[in-house]
Amino acid sequence: MAILQVLYHPDPRLRIKAAPVPVVDDEVRRLAADMMETMYAAPGIGLAATQVNVHRRLLVVDVSETHDQPLCLINPALLQKEGVERMEEGCLSVPGVFEEVERAERIRVRFQDLEGHTVEQDADDLLAVCIQHEMDHLEGKLFLDYLSPLKRSRITKKLTKAQKQVM
């Protein structure tokens, strides 16, 4: 396994819409394993392939405190959403920024697992929010897009400046 390089906002590659995963094979399983390792090392609770510059519809999440409930969603589709939840979100691609975002409280999602089987799963609270956040990445969308333009541009300026200092 390997730790992958994560893209940081405002990298334009974070805005690419991901294409479906055509077949769940060893290459996809290896990517998922590397993404898990990258997520745990960060540490984070979710990571979308877009964030590691792979523009395929695949994401990993684990919202457990013990880091032992990994979930990989391939070609995820939202079947149902219900309720409203406001939660403070962060993102490995937007380091150091935490802002409240409104999402559905409960969702039902269909995806393929690492064996290529189609699965339907219900999720609520943090897991539901996390899956919705990661699914947005596959559309080239960031949680910052839900904030006011003024707030977003302030955050973008701050991150751009911070990245210049690192380089």
User: What gap in Å lies between CA 115 and CA 130, rounded to an integer?
Assistant: 22
Alpha helices, DSSP H only, in the chain?
26-41, 125-138, 149-166
Question: Please, which residue, 111 or 143, has the CB nearer to Ni ion?
Answer: 143
Question: Please, which residue, 24 or 52, has the CB nearer to Ni ion?
Answer: 52
Q: How far is the CB of 153 from Ni ion (least distance, A)?
A: 19
105 has catalytic annotation: no
| Beta-carbon count within 10 A of 10 CB | 18
Question: Please, which residue, 95 or 105, has the CB nearer to Ni ion?
Answer: 95
User: What gap in Å lies between CA 127 and CA 105, rounded to an integer?
Assistant: 9
> Strand 58-61 and strand 106-112: pairing?
unpaired
| 54-113 binders of Ni ion (CB under 5 A) | 91
Residue 89 CA from chain centroid, whole number: 11
Q: How far is the CB of 14 from Ni ion (least distance, A)?
A: 9
Q: How far is the CB of 82 from Ni ion (least distance, A)?
A: 23
Which residue is catalytic, options 115, 120, 134, 139?
134
- Interface contacts to Ni ion, rule CB under 5 A: 91
- Catalytically annotated residues: 134
